[in-house]
Structure 1
Amino acid sequence: MNFFISVSLFSQDYRFGKVSKEELEETVNPIDSSAVAAYLYKNRKTHFQYFQDNGFKVITEVYERIKIYKQEGFDYATKQINLYQSGGVKEELSNLKAYTYYLENDKVEEVKLDKDNIFETEMSSHWVQQKFTMPNIKKGCIIELRYHIYSPYISNIDEFVFQADIPIKKLEAEFEAPEYFVYKSNAKGYFPIRPTTDKRRGNITSNSITRASGRSSGTSSFETQRVEYMKNVTSFELTDIPALKEEPYVNNINNYRSAVKYELSYVKYPHSPIDYYSTTWEDVVKNIYENSSFGSELNKTGYYEQDIDALIGSISDPVKRAYLIFDFVKSRMKWNEFHGYYTDKGVKKAYKEQIGNVAEINLMLTSMLRHAGLRAYPVLVSTRSHGVPLFPTREGYNYVISCVRFPEGDMLLDATNKFAVPNVLPLKALNWQGRMISEHGGSTLIDLYPKEKSKNNIFMMAQLHEDGNLEGGYRSMKTNHRALSFREGYIGTNLDDYLEKLENKYNGMEISDYQVKNDLDLAKPVTESYKFVKESQADIIGDKIYFSPMFFLRDTENPFKLEKRDYPVDFVYPSVTSYKIFIGIPEGYAVESVPEPGAFVMPDNLGVFKYNISSKGNKLQLAVESHISESVITPAYYQALKAYFSQLVEKQGEQIVLSKI
């Protein structure tokens, strides 16, 4: 038998607006049949243009042609473009053109994006976002868009990204910089990139007017000056770039996406001294610390001294002082959900208004802790969505927390989250390492991941009926990050909506007598309990009943499916889940067989699984423990981790057999 793959070949025209009928007729991506969409062409050019009144500006030209194969690919018809602004100087979006192409009666039709459907949102004090969704999206359509971004920020070159969540058929990119600006390139990712370099001539033309002076009417003379210079050019041309497949337990897939970041090292104009930019983390931290919106704000104390002195006046224990001040700031201040390490309106005004950005709240907290005689320091953090700061740039961090140093160890604090407790940071802040800044602007790295395991202890009493239905009671007790996540999802929500989601999570379970304890007492584990009825929890074949003793609580599939994974597995925090399940079997039945006890471990005890079951009369007792000992597991252990979870799923699925007496 002969097998063959039919690939339609046609001449590709990548000029804007030249979408072909053959491209629209394509139903499956040739290099990835599972792709929901693909970039047929992706082009970016970043270069510099001299303006007589403003000097050099960075111009980035973007052109994309995207094919949508399936409804799941409709998300790629929505585009967000982020623009930076500071002190009234901002980046500008211009020359935006966007069309949707589709086949109608075997003819290529097009619909233009209406400018009224472009919306601007202020993301923070420094970022605005232009967002739009293309019109008339349907399976098989193609969208094209192109635009220019004009930026006065020569040190802030957006990352050149060469790999997407969908395949890219052809990619061309170019970075062209005048010889006056010297950039260092930093590459990341696993897809191979081979740039080519070249030099081109450029020139600056400027015009000036000289007006004659004196009593008689004078004439004006015009003078044109032309300066030639060299441009350094780096070009990229790539084809058939596979999608970067994402699995569960990854902190930010962009950390592992093939890309190049250009960092300005120095500026050297003719007959002028060299002007160095930040090239080390020490330089970056020094610049941040010396900014009036950081270091100066940290040193202000007068606005809170009276309140803090009254709060801790009779308390001498330093740990108790830290807890009191932390709880005081959490209860007084409301976070406005703006990220960043610089204050916006300042700590004094934020304190008075009881609302502020993350820098205002946590710099205020740090200052108060210092006032109380504690060794407290601000810590620069990059949130998980922002990525890991691999290279020293001022954009590497976007968040700030506080750290108190005790002889017993560090205490990490973030007062923006009402449910956080010491050393239990919001999940978004658990991202490798933070950079702690000393009183004089120096810095050291500290680990943000917790050492103590978060627990979820589950206790269930259940009665299995002859028809396979199950009823009983469930109780769980959660600590640390497990408790934080629960509180964030539960407190403040509508209880009916919350229970509906919980019932849907377990596919139609009926829940009653729902209760939560210690939801607002953050010093204690949070407990959740309810009664339940769940249908069809056993298979009845003849006079035998088959069921997994973990019922609806068991894991049914291995989350790790890739043959090879190049990026780490990030569990966010170490954890242990334990189950104690007591099962009553139906009257008139006896236990015929139960799964064997078992235990298995990952290398270096990164994961431990224990399973034990016993029976006595018409009662069964199951005890299961599952440990993950590290927040992050490197790719070297991926195959072992995949095998471990495969064993775990298999063991949890093993069945008890009951026979009719």
Structure 2
Amino acid sequence: MRITFNLLALLISITAFSQNYKFGKVSKEELQEVINPIDSSATASYLYKNRKTHFQYLPQNGFNVVTEVHERVKIYNQEGYEYATKQIALYKSRNNEEEVSGLKAYTYNLIDGKIIEDKMSKDAVFKTETSKYWDQLKFTLPNIKNGCIVEYRYKIFSPFITNIDEYVFQEDIPIKKLEAVFEAPEYFVYKKNVKGYLPVTPKTERLNDKFVYHGVSNNTGEAGTSSVKKERYTQEVTHLTNKTSYDLLNIPALKEEPYVSNIDNYRSGVKYELSYTHYPNSSVDYYSTTWEDVVKTIYESSSFGDELDKSGYYEKDIDALIGSISDPVKRAYLIFDFVKSRMKWNNYHSFYTNQGVKSAYKDHVGNVAEINLMLTSMLRYAGLRAYPVLVSTRSHGIPIFPTREGYNYVVSCIRFPEGDMLLDATNKYAVPNVLPTKALNWQGRMISEHGGSTLIDLYPKEKSKNTIFMMAKLKEDGSIEGACRTMKTTHKALEFRENYIGVNLDDYLERLENKYDGMEISDYAVKNDLDLSQPVRESYKFVKENQADIIGDKIYFSPMFFLRDTQNPFKLENREYPVDFAYPSVTSCKIIVSIPEGYKIESIPEAGAFMMPDDLGLFKYNILPQGNKVQLAVETHISESVITPVYYAALKTYFSQLVDKQGEQIVLSRI
């Protein structure tokens, strides 16, 4: 078996090396391929993925970064059609922007033994603005069919030498061959940050290079005169270039499962961060090399630290609000609610202000920084130990390495003797120590008055509760009718409010009925949706068909009905990245089932309980027959926000047992 596997790997390797990767040189063999030889489940594959990033010297602008991309993708079936569309993110500032040039794209199909090319038209290319700092170039290739190949190449010209886009070595589909190159003149020293679980061994070289410099010199005139004559000159400058190359074969797809904060955190790749620049005859200019450097740069910015010191614009309002209140916790609550009610978030994420806190306060609208730096400043004015906390949202990734790009959000923290209180005033339905789920991303970096920083855990310790009480009447035809009440606290309540408040009720009920596969809901009511100090209470009546199997004179049904889990969400044999539940939780279900007249209970499931190692999870199942009724109590606990891969096998077994137990049936027989 070992010999066979090695032979297969060798054959795949030989095949990869024998292919022609020049643009446009697609072969019949590539078009005839039906499945990926190392991953038969793949909907598409990168046959070739090439990127080269290097520097170009321009007389007017100095050094620019040029990124050349060439990709060839095989599409096996309709599910892989999404790979016929490419999106390119382009960064921009007030005065500069990245640009794409030289875009060429073709689709190749094999028809009657001949390779047919379809060139992408200019009409298939769209550029849109996605935010103040980002544009997106998007294009879709033509004539996509099962078995086709799409191929494209382009260049990105960027004036931002500190912002080198991450090299991605692992995608959601397999990659047969990947080549990547990063070249930088000796004047720019970059720190290489590698992430993911793929073993990568780069090749490094130092090459002789040169560029042509155009300058202007000042020459004095003839002796005894004061005239100055400007003369243009051209000079060839030689220097060393540091080159790093990557050459990888048969890279497996990164398989994603539920409960992952951001799969890109675990995707293999490398990020180049500018450490310092050193031009000839000049001093060294350092960039972000440590977290202390990063925090200092952010804190000393006029769009961050200076904004914390401003208070004149709100002092009268805060004095009137808390003048008679001495209790520090009450002061915190009043100020927090005041900012939430006064300010509206404009949907921009940033730890830097845009228009400034004073203007935002006047206009009643601001970005994340303007609202939460304003909140922090007010809390300090009220005599509280309040500090801004830099956060990376879940979609932004985990800031593993020191970089100014690592964070994109800021919240506020008050240090009380009893413990810390985390606040985010951008969310109208948030309460103290209940941050929006998007901000629950490992650790934040709390910045002190002098620009120092400490890490602070963002995940909550208190379990969020979802308590369900249901009464159901089972009918002879297998349908049920009844009533259900739920009560939600902390993050469960926050998520409910975000999905419910301000939404058309009919649309909301339609989604709820679809969630439970066509259940009919009536008499729907919600209490405490706007009273954030109380749990959200929800109630409704329902009718649902096909909740039991009728075989002869017997009825079989799970007493959890539509509330039970039917599938184990964890299916991978091994998982190398953590399971992220966002917050600890407990779901409690109390269900009373009335059985049809003329039937008796023949058998019921046994009570039981099981748990994960180190108290990470607990499941309890208690059932009790009471005359013509059955009473069931089920509890499911997840005790930690994040469960490391070490416990993945135990977690997978736990959920498998949970699904099996919830699916166990009561058997009724006709009297």
TM-score of the two chains, using structure 2 as the length reference: 0.94
User: Does 2:619 correspond to 1:628?
Assistant: no
Separation (CA, whole Å) in 2 of partners of 1:118 and 1:302: 50
User: Does 2:84 correspond to 1:114?
Assistant: no
Change (3 A) 1:13 1:641: same
User: Does 2:506 correspond to 1:496?
Assistant: yes
Residues 224-250 of structure 1 deviation map (CA, whole Å, 9 limit, x = unaligned): 311211111110000110000011111
Q: Which amino acid aligns with 1:123?
A: T
Separation (CA, whole Å) in 2 of partners of 1:463 and 1:24: 59
Q: CA deviation at 1:209?
A: 6.3
Separation (CA, whole Å) in 2 of partners of 1:401 and 1:354: 18
Change (3 A) 1:220 1:571: closer
Q: CA deviation at 1:631?
A: 0.1
The residue aligned with 1:143 is 150
Whether contact under 8 Å (1:123, 1:338) holds in the other structure is: no
Residues 48-70 of structure 1 deviation map (CA, whole Å, 9 limit, x = unaligned): 11122222111111111112222
The residue aligned with 1:364 is 374
Q: CA deviation at 1:159?
A: 1.2
Q: Which amino acid aligns with 1:243?
A: A
Whether contact under 8 Å (1:474, 1:531) holds in the other structure is: yes
Greater shift after overlay, 103-112 or 230-239?
A: 103-112
The residue aligned with 2:623 is 613
Separation (CA, whole Å) in 1 of partners of 2:334 and 2:124: 49
Q: CA deviation at 1:92?
A: 2.1
Separation (CA, whole Å) in 2 of partners of 1:565 and 1:521: 41
Q: How does 1:378-393 map to 2 (within 5 A)?
A: 378-393=388-403
The residue aligned with 2:496 is 486
Q: CA deviation at 1:222?
A: 6.3
Separation (CA, whole Å) in 1 of partners of 2:73 and 2:474: 53
Greater shift after overlay, 221-230 or 531-540?
A: 221-230
The residue aligned with 2:322 is 312
Separation (CA, whole Å) in 2 of partners of 1:221 and 1:371: 60
TM-score of the two chains, using structure 1 as the length reference: 0.96
Separation (CA, whole Å) in 2 of partners of 1:240 and 1:521: 55
Residues 33-54 of structure 1 deviation map (CA, whole Å, 9 limit, x = unaligned): 1111111110011111112222
Separation (CA, whole Å) in 2 of partners of 1:275 and 1:72: 49
Q: Which amino acid aligns with 1:110?
A: E
The residue aligned with 2:42 is 35
Q: CA deviation at 1:210?
A: 6.7
Secondary structure class of the residue paired with 1:395: helix
The residue aligned with 2:421 is 411
Secondary structure class of the residue paired with 2:362: helix
Q: CA deviation at 1:184?
A: 1.7
Q: CA deviation at 1:221?
A: 7.1
Residues 387-414 of structure 1 deviation map (CA, whole Å, 9 limit, x = unaligned): 0000000000011111111111111111
Q: Identity over the aligned pairs, expressed in percent?
A: 73
Separation (CA, whole Å) in 2 of partners of 1:219 and 1:428: 62
Q: CA deviation at 1:615?
A: 0.5
User: Does 2:186 correspond to 1:176?
Assistant: no
User: Does 2:56 correspond to 1:22?
Assistant: no
The residue aligned with 2:576 is 566
User: Does 2:602 correspond to 1:600?
Assistant: no
Separation (CA, whole Å) in 2 of partners of 1:324 and 1:310: 11
Change (3 A) 1:221 1:369: closer
The residue aligned with 1:657 is 667
Q: Which amino acid aligns with 2:100?
A: L
User: Does 2:211 correspond to 1:201?
Assistant: no
Secondary structure class of the residue paired with 1:431: coil
Separation (CA, whole Å) in 1 of partners of 2:558 and 2:359: 59
User: Does 2:303 correspond to 1:296?
Assistant: no
Residues 479-527 of structure 1 deviation map (CA, whole Å, 9 limit, x = unaligned): 1111111111111112111111111111111111111111111111111
Separation (CA, whole Å) in 1 of partners of 2:511 and 2:229: 82
Q: How does 1:485-524 map to 2 (within 5 A)?
A: 485-524=495-534
Q: CA deviation at 1:77?
A: 2.3
Q: CA deviation at 1:135?
A: 3.0
Residues 541-562 of structure 1 deviation map (CA, whole Å, 9 limit, x = unaligned): 1111111110111111111111
Separation (CA, whole Å) in 1 of partners of 2:592 and 2:600: 16
Separation (CA, whole Å) in 2 of partners of 1:117 and 1:162: 27
Secondary structure class of the residue paired with 1:309: helix
Q: How does 1:316-335 map to 2 (within 5 A)?
A: 316-335=326-345
Q: Which amino acid aligns with 2:595?
A: I
Residues 616-658 of structure 1 deviation map (CA, whole Å, 9 limit, x = unaligned): 1101000000000000001111111111111111111111111
Q: CA deviation at 1:105?
A: 4.6
Residues 554-604 of structure 1 deviation map (CA, whole Å, 9 limit, x = unaligned): 111111111111111101000000000000001011111111110001001
Greater shift after overlay, 379-388 or 414-423?
A: 414-423
User: Does 2:192 correspond to 1:185?
Assistant: yes
Q: Which amino acid aligns with 1:287?
A: T
User: Does 2:82 correspond to 1:72?
Assistant: no
Separation (CA, whole Å) in 2 of partners of 1:409 and 1:221: 69
Separation (CA, whole Å) in 1 of partners of 2:88 and 2:59: 28
User: Does 2:407 correspond to 1:431?
Assistant: no
Separation (CA, whole Å) in 1 of partners of 2:631 and 2:284: 75
Separation (CA, whole Å) in 2 of partners of 1:222 and 1:250: 59
Q: Which amino acid aligns with 1:393?
A: T
User: Does 2:562 correspond to 1:552?
Assistant: yes
Secondary structure class of the residue paired with 2:493: helix
Whether contact under 8 Å (1:125, 1:344) holds in the other structure is: no
The residue aligned with 1:132 is 139
Secondary structure class of the residue paired with 2:406: coil
Separation (CA, whole Å) in 2 of partners of 1:9 and 1:84: 38
Q: Which amino acid aligns with 2:86?
A: K
The residue aligned with 2:656 is 646
Q: How does 1:62-101 map to 2 (within 5 A)?
A: 62-101=69-108
Unaligned runs of 5+ in 1: none
Separation (CA, whole Å) in 1 of partners of 2:285 and 2:483: 70
Separation (CA, whole Å) in 2 of partners of 1:595 and 1:649: 14
The residue aligned with 2:287 is 277
Change (3 A) 1:16 1:424: same
Change (3 A) 1:119 1:303: farther
Separation (CA, whole Å) in 2 of partners of 1:157 and 1:426: 30
Change (3 A) 1:414 1:221: closer
The residue aligned with 2:166 is 159
Which of 231, 234, 241 in structure 1 is aligned with 2:241?
231
Change (3 A) 1:504 1:464: same
Whether contact under 8 Å (1:161, 1:258) holds in the other structure is: yes
Secondary structure class of the residue paired with 1:172: strand
Residues 195-243 of structure 1 deviation map (CA, whole Å, 9 limit, x = unaligned): 111121101212446799689xx99976431121111111000011000
Whether contact under 8 Å (1:330, 1:417) holds in the other structure is: yes
Unaligned runs of 5+ in 2: none
Separation (CA, whole Å) in 2 of partners of 1:371 and 1:108: 72
Q: CA deviation at 1:172?
A: 0.1
